[in-house]
């Protein structure tokens, strides 16, 4: 068995208007605090939580957030070194850093490589200033290319960008320009996610007040099909609904999630999955640190997955992948449902696997609902 690690870094300089992640600005945690003051003992807490995890060898580590690239490489490197010393890393261990393009320098990027990172993912979101403004993003679009050039020069062998489509006020042409811009960069991987408006965010309030209007479903579908066509034309092949990569540059950490492998989430609000048991930590960094330093578990709650849940999740996750879904996982009545979708061109059969067509990927959630009810 192997064990992947997700390391949550819950700090951001500013909260983006659409963000529903478990992140905090220094001022939200402590009046007048700097990031250094807030985070200086955070890594100590993460290392203490690590002592509770299994000791299986580690094929992937992913630092997400928040904005992990706000922290010095030496701090993040302490976590990598501790996991390596305790569990051991596979020879080809993938270690990813999520980064804000504004928060990196050539010096910092070199230091991240020195402590063990070999993959970096930049939050680009859009190349259009008015779209970034609607998302309340802080970075300058020009800094994305600059950051990627510096990362490549430093020696990063795998570079990804995250994009978001379906922002209020974004046209299909806006989206085309963003994807063109991204594909012109020296990258190996693109993730493109449809914007989901989460209750309680600044963006949700703006939409409720009528200040912003969400695009309709037809435009969202056109945007998805467009990024798929453009990526494929540039040699980035889809391997999961929202992800495209050059050969050998798939995000193996995310694949571990989709294949229901074991992983342990370190940090506040982090989720874990070990041997069909799912559990998650308390959300607030202060509460998390208090519990860990008091020798208590930071786990808030857990659930043991039933065989039925495990099977349904294998279907839900498997159908999202380019490799598709093994037919042997499905009962006769489920195969009947899929036969109708096959007649309409939404799914294809390849040997013993069921694979979504591009049109089928647009309605993947509906297909899953119908075969797992």
**pLDDT tens-place string over residues 321-341:** 999 998 888 889 898 889 889
Q: Is the peptide bond between 143 and the residue preceding it cis, with omega within 30 degrees of 0?
A: no
pLDDT of residue 266: 98
Angle at 175 between CA 170 and CA 179, to 5 degrees: 155
pLDDT of residue 204: 57
Q: Strand, coil or helix: what is 246?
A: coil
Instruction: Name all domains of the chain by residue range, CATH numbers in brackets.
Output: 4-258 (3.20.20.70), 320-372 (no CATH)
Provide the phi-psi class of 326: left if phi over 0, else alpha when psi is between -120 and 50, else beta.
beta
Look at residue 62 and tell me whether its pLDDT is greater than 90. Answer: yes
Pairing of strands 89-99, 58-65: parallel
Confidence of residue 127 (pLDDT cuts 50, 70, 90): very high
pTM score of the predicted model = 0.92
Look at residue 112 and tell me whether its pLDDT is greater than 90. Answer: yes
The rounded mean pLDDT for the chain is 89
Q: How far apart are CA 348 and CA 355, in angstroms?
A: 5
pLDDT of residue 13: 72
pLDDT of residue 262: 98
Residue matched to tokens 């990063």: 156
Name the residue among 178, 358, 159, 319 with its Cα closest to residue 245: 159
pLDDT digits (tens, 9 = 90+) for 265-281: 999 999 999 999 999 99
Average pLDDT for 2-17: 83
Average pLDDT for 300-325: 93
């Amino acid at each position: 068995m192997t064990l992947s690690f997700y390391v949550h870094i819950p700090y951001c300089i500013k909260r983006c208007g659409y963000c529903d992640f478990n992140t905090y600005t220094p001022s939200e945690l402590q009046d007048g605090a700097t990031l250094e003051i807030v985070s200086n003992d955070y890594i100590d807490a993460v290392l203490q939580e690590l002592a509770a995890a299994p000791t299986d060898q580690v094929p992937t580590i992913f630092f997400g957030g928040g904005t992990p690239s706000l922290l010095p490489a030496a701090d993040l490197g302490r976590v990598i070194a501790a996991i390596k010393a305790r569990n051991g890393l596979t020879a080809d261990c993938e270690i990813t850093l999520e980064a804000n393009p504004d928060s990196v320098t050539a010096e910092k990027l070199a230091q991240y490589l020195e402590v063990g990172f070999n993959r970096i993912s930049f939050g680009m979101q859009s190349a259009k200033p008015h779209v970034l403004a609607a998302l309340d993003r802080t970075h300058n679009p020009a800094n994305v290319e600059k950051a990627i050039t510096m990362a490549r020069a430093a020696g990063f062998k795998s570079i990804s960008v995250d994009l978001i489509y379906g922002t209020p006020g974004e046209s299909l042409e806006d989206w085309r320009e963003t994807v063109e811009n991204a594909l012109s960069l020296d990258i190996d991987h693109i993730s493109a996610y449809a914007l989901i408006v989460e209750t309680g965010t600044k963006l949700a309030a703006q939409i409720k007040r009528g200040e912003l209007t969400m695009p309709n479903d037809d435009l969202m579908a056109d945007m998805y099909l467009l990024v798929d066509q453009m990526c494929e034309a540039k040699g980035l092949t889809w391997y999961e609904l929202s992800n495209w990569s050059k050969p050998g540059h798939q995000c193996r950490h995310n694949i571990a999630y989709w294949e229901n492998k074991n992983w342990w989430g370190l940090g506040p609000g982090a989720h874990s999955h070990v041997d069909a048991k799912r559990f998650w930590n308390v959300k607030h960094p202060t509460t998390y640190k208090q519990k860990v330093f008091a020798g208590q578990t930071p786990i808030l709650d857990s659930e043991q997955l039933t065989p039925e849940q495990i099977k349904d999740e294998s279907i839900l996750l498997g159908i999202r992948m380019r490799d598709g879904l093994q037919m042997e996982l499905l009962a006769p009545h489920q195969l009947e449902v899929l036969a109708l979708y096959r007649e309409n061109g939404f799914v294809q059969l390849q040997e013993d696997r069921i694979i979504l067509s591009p049109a089928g990927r647009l309605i993947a959630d509906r297909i899953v609902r119908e075969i797992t009810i």
